[in-house]
Amino acid sequence: MATFDFSLVHDDLLLVENRLRDVASVDFPVLAGILRQLLQSGGKRLRPALVLLAARFRDYDHGKALAVAAAVEMLHTATLVHDDLIDHSLLRRGNPTLNTTWKSGVVVLVGDYLFGKAAELAAQSKSVDLGELFARTVAIICDGELRSLLDGKRWDTSREEYYRRIYAKTASLFATCSEAGAIVGEAAAEERVALREYGQNLGMAFQIADDILDFVGSERALGKPVGSDLRQGTITLPAICYVERHLDHPLVRRALGGDASDSVLSTLIDLVRASEAINDAYDAARNFSRQAKQNLAALPDLPCRQVMLDLADFVVERKT
């Protein structure tokens, strides 16, 4: 993602970095170190960029946009901290996660702290609508994660269930980012809806591409082992597409029957990697990307619109 051209909002993104750095500047060295590590670990800043781009369709309040852009990145970071704890992940973006260094209580509280700080940044916008949107998004994300966790990980997951899951996990926050930009820009009601839908479709395409890269990417580019999702029991679209096409494959039958042994999973990861299921999943991602671009059809032809159109292609075609 580092190669996508965000030059239109580059200066603003630097100001967002400053806001994030401010949050990390607490008078408590241990915590400051943890926050720096989390907030300066080279995330793609895709979500803040989305806020800033969506705000540009109108004559927006600059300070408000920066606060909201920092807030969405903070909220995203908070969810990552808790996700990594829940999944017992040891690596994130090639760096050790907090769980490798700190006991779980610290990790829980750091995530909570970031939720609070995200809400504080969002509140700086002085917008009731934004406060509601943020709160609803937190509830949607957690609700989705809880359902995934409590429902168990099943090989017979349908595409519909998968789409619901990635909406909650990823696309809901993308939708919130572009809608938040619209709110900051005081966009007209129909523009706000279009921008929200753009963000949602972009997020769906982004997450499907992420899930494909988990199979076909290189360990080096991913910063974690290939096939991590499946190894952790999370069934994503490539695996679902493979099952759709190969219901009678003996290993698929074993997996559907509940066999989650390392040897079965490793072979299945290789099979999915090399199969046409990857193209099936890319077709689905391109479909969401196409819808995202259509959502922008009625918006004015400004530079920010072109960047958002390019971004919709990029999230699918990227290699990392």
Q: x-or-dash pattern for a second copy, window 228-267, by CB under 8 A?
A: ----------------------------------------
The reply to whether 14 sits near a second copy by the rule CB under 8 A is no
Residue closer to a second copy by CB (options 82, 318) is 82
Kindly state whether residue 116 participates in binding a second copy, applying the rule CB under 8 A.
Answer: yes
Q: Which of 27, 23, 29 is nearest to 113 (CA)?
A: 23
Look at residues 278, 274, 252 and name the one whose alpha carbon lies nearest to residue 265. Answer: 252
Cβ distance to a second copy smaller for residue 93 or 147: 147
**For residues 232 and 306, which CB has a smaller minimum distance to a second copy in the complex?**
232
178-217 mask for a second copy (x: CB under 8 A)? ----------------------------------------
CA distance 266 to 256: 15
Q: Does 22 bind a second copy (CB under 8 A)?
A: no
**Residue 12, CA distances (Å) to 65, 87, 108, 124, 198 in order:** 9, 34, 31, 17, 21
Contacts to a second copy from residues 28-47, by CB under 8 A: 28, 30-31
Q: Is 82 among the residues that bind a second copy (CB under 8 A)?
A: yes
Under 8 Å between Cβ of 182 and 50: no
- Residues 129-158, one symbol each (x = binds a second copy by CB under 8 A, - = not), give --xx-xxxxxxxxxx-xxx-xx--------
Antiparallel, parallel or unpaired: β 91-92 and 95-96: antiparallel
Under the criterion CB under 8 A, does residue 90 sit at the interface with a second copy?
A: no
**Interacting residues toward a second copy by CB under 8 A:** 26, 28, 30-31, 82, 85-87, 104-106, 108-113, 115-117, 119-120, 122-124, 126-128, 131-132, 134-143, 145-147, 149-150
